[in-house]
Chains A and B, each alone.
Chain A
Amino acid sequence: MVTRPSPPGIRPLPTEARLIRDEPYYEAVGGEIALFEAAHASALPVLLKGPTGCGKTRFIEHMAWRLQRPLITVSCHDDLTAADLVGRYLITGNETVWVDGPLARAVRSGAICYLDEVVEARRDTTVVIHPLADDRRILPMEKRGELLQAPPEFLLAMSFNPGYQSVLKDLKQSTRQRFVAIEFCYPDAALEEKIIRGESAADAATAAALVRLAGMTRNLKGNGLDEGASTRLLVHAAKLIARGIPAAAACHGAIAEALSDDPEMLRAIDEFAASVF
């Protein structure tokens, strides 16, 4: 059996392509940057906890840039199998060819592998990362009979939203207790205004109004909304407003409709928008 690193026709992007060259915009909320750097230096895996749209993915991009490591992101879904992460044989012509999965590629190239929304993946999949996430730092590739030893630069990170109330979407203790956890939450009002202005061309008054609007929707969490408006949604609305869309229409499209389908809730959010602008 012949193996080649990449078969003709199916050429995975070289990991270097995912090296982030320009600094991604990120405002530190607390000591998370120092914590992450220390975890990387100590070869510890990192778990990012927090609601959607509060900057987890942006943070990891920023850290990849800061540490100058390539970033490989895997968006987990409920059909994600171990083979999708580790790699599989493919048939080309009349021979089988091994192709590394994203996790194996990250280990080989000493990249940061970021498993986004890891609870969405099948439970058996998360077990694959166990030997990689403790002090062994190995990735067993059963089918090839190969044991990959992660280089010191390699870092495993994953994100997790503890806000899901479903019992099915919880992280197993055996998984979560291997990670250094960094909690993310919505930034406080002043910082959130700064972020909105940093991400869009919005003026100070618009940013302040959007933050107030977000606060009102976050008050509705558990009272009709599963989540309040995230910083990401506020940035979307701010970008639309900066392009000349009227505030009410921008908030309706970027925030209200993104949060709910319920007509009464939509109307209530529209009225928040009508009040703060």
Chain B
Amino acid sequence: MTVPLSATELGKRLDYLLGPVLSPRRSAAPLAQALSALDRRQQDFVLHWIEVIDRSNYEMAYQFAAAAPAALGRLDAAAAEAWIIHAMDAYDRDGLHHGSQEFRQFEAFSRQATATHAATFAEYAPVLELFVCGLAGRRLKLETADEAKTDTETLFLPPRIALFPDKADNCAVYRILATLLWAQCHYGSGQIDLAAICAARADPSRAAALLAHFESLRLEARIAGLFPGIARAMARLRGSAPDPRCAGLAAPAATVDDSIALLERLYGAFDPPALPWRLSLHAGANAVRAARLARERNALAAALAGLMRQHPPPASGGVAPEGRFSIETGQSAGENGGSEFTLRLDGNPVAPLPQLARLIDSILQDLGSIPDEYLQAAGDGHEQTGTGEPQTDDESEPDGHDHGAHFYDEWDCKRRHYRRNWCVLRETDIEPADGAFIDATLDRYRPQIAQLKRTFEMLRGEDRLLKRQSAGDDIDFDALVDGYADLKSGMELPERLMTRRHKAERNLAALFMVDMSGSTKGWINDAERESLVMLCEALEVLGDRYAIYGFSGVTRKRCEIYRIKRFDDPYDDTVRRRIAGITPRDYTRMGAAIRHLTQRLGAVDARTKLLVTLSDGKPDDYSDHYRGEYGIEDTRQALIEAHRAGIRPFCITIDHEARDYLPHLYGPVNWTLVDNVERLPLKVAGIYRRLAT
């Protein structure tokens, strides 16, 4: 093994690596001293990661260096890496303070990491989310919080549960908590005015805890009837039998009021036992519920108005229809979240669209019935706002300016992990420009376009009649006559006497992703636009489905995708003018763009899906190290993801250095270099033909 580095050598390296956060009062010497005690392999590990973390934040790197010697004593290399990733995730998500705290709390991390019996939220949430959706019939958000509670839209659950030695039991506790929280929404716990009830008590927090416990007992009984499996798990894990004084809550008719009455009786004389699942009541639940109801009422009014337009009153009716909706709720179901109801317009049943049905269902869950005033269709002109209140659909967005944004992970090749939700991407329409450019292009390339169209026409998939087949739909009489002659002359009748229709159906969707970075300024941009025009002309003949998007952006917070032509858009004047409107913008952060367009393309139903990039150079972005290896590796990772999603990426580039990096990104064959920019418009359609036939 190589000799460990001395404290002096380490000091020099650290001075260089951590320079920006060192000062006369905070030198690298103590760090170097501590690190010199490690063996060389560990020292290299620490130095490598300091370098990596430096890319994100120098202070984080310093905190890591300070914690590393002690941490490496406890954690092996794999666990240490997990610890670093965990802390960096916290930094990415919550900032420097939380990130550096995670570095300091490596002991807690090591305890948790070694406790394999624990169920963690991160691991279990995807399953739990489906579970809750199945229970509730609507999507409820799941988030972590120190205590389990719900505001009727989000279920808050503890980040990890390690109460039992068996992991399955800890998962069961999650399931019990989630079911109880759903029951809180479903059986009216959200209606409790917690503040008013608790304020009257000497110790409001004690009152709240007691009430939450009573509610849990009441809901446990309700759940037991529906979900015997959950009831069995609760009986097994609860530890102590419920207090007999609370037995009244188990009656099927018990309501919130019974819990409140019990609080009156037992406030001074009862201590809630320590159950493995402890829930709180959410103080804000009432407000959230009211806001949702207001929102849903508006949406309902708009949907009913839409329904009314679909069912116009009969022209020759004796009685003038009133346009009155009524609703009958069934008694039979309803326990499953999915309630049954019949919607009537002027007494005639109407079939609600699934969206409307879900809305009614959601209101039924909150109110138990639909009040008459909810059943009024919005008048013309205010479908959007209904009663005039602003729409509050996006109130749950973390911050307002991220409305409509998509979040994408980014691959950090140094960390060898994703940075979660690292890139913020928005999709916007491109501003259509004057059509003169298009006319000029069509004019300039008229003969070439005509020829392209002819070539592509020949490729169009059509029925072909295959003759002389051994099996088929019909008899090939020519072959039969020949065969009959053969037969008469003593030979055997040939076997291939059938015709068969063979339909070479084209089942292909192509998405073109156009580089709109600043570097395309000038004739590259012209060539790109001309190429797109020729491509569209050719593809219209071929009949393949295709879409065109531009991409650019500055930094991870502002990745932009520009819509030029969506799959459903016809190739019309607007699209042509949008093509003319393609202008050079900023940088090329390709990873996020590829991930976004992979999703767009993934939503299309086609046997073959092509993602064709028109590019003029390497991925690049302003600052934050995207240029170079990081950007290339992220792009490569995004392309691998696309590949996994069944998409074939291809790149057409004009970058003369492309040979150095494109094979690494797209593989040896899935790219092509057009070395003369002026030839690009003439080549692109041909390249597509080669690719797609």
Contact = CB atoms under 8 A, between A and B. Distances in A.
Contacts of A218: 338
A265 B473 CA distance: 43
B692 interface: no
B137 A91 contact: no
A277 B228 contact: yes
A222 B332 CA distance: 25
Given A168-B605, A219-B137, A88 B473 contact: yes
Interface in A209-224: 209, 212, 215-220, 222-224
B175 A271 contact: yes
Contact of A224 (B130, B175, B338): B130
Nearest to A248: B229
Interface in B445-487: 473-475, 480, 484, 487
Nearest to B133: A223
Given A81-B473, A219-B336, A275-B179, A265 B130 contact: yes
A189 B332 CA distance: 7
A271 B228 CA distance: 12
Contacts of A96: 475, 480
A38 interface: no
A146 interface: no
Given A219-B133, A219-B337, A271 B127 contact: yes
Nearest to A186: B338
- Give the interface size bracket for B toward A: 35 or more
B230 interface: yes
B337 A275 contact: no
B139 interface: yes
A224 B126 CA distance: 11
B126 A274 contact: no
Interface in B484-511: 484, 487, 493, 497, 501, 503
A189 to B, nearest CB: 5
Contacts of B487: 94
Contact of A275 (B133, B175, B473): B175
A94 B493 contact: yes
Contact of A83 (B137, B175, B474): B474
A276 B229 contact: yes
Interface string B338-369: 10100000000000001000000000000000
Contacts of A25: none
A215 B474 contact: no
Contacts of A143: 474
B175 A189 contact: no
B333 A166 contact: no
A272 B133 CA distance: 11
A190 interface: yes
Interface string B119-146: 0000000111011011111010000000
B226 interface: yes
B227 interface: yes
B330 interface: yes
B335 interface: yes
The residue among B130, B135, B497 with the most chain A CB atoms within 10 A of its own CB is B130
Nearest to B334: A189
Given A81-B473, A220-B133, A166 B228 contact: no
Interface of B: 126-128, 130-131, 133-137, 139, 175, 179, 226-230, 330, 332-333, 335-338, 340, 354, 473-475, 480, 484, 487, 493, 497, 501, 503, 605
Given A143-B474, A215-B337, A224-B130, 12 more contacts: A89-B474, A96-B475, A189-B332, A189-B333, A212-B226, A215-B333, A216-B135, A220-B134, A272-B131, A272-B134, A275-B229, A277-B228
28 contacts: A89-B474, A89-B475, A91-B475, A122-B503, A143-B474, A167-B605, A188-B330, A188-B332, A188-B333, A209-B228, A212-B335, A212-B336, A215-B336, A216-B135, A216-B336, A219-B134, A219-B135, A219-B136, A219-B337, A220-B133, A264-B127, A267-B127, A271-B131, A272-B131, A272-B134, A275-B227, A276-B226, A276-B228
* 7 closest residue pairs by CB, A with B: A215-B336, A268-B130, A216-B134, A219-B137, A275-B227, A83-B473, A275-B229
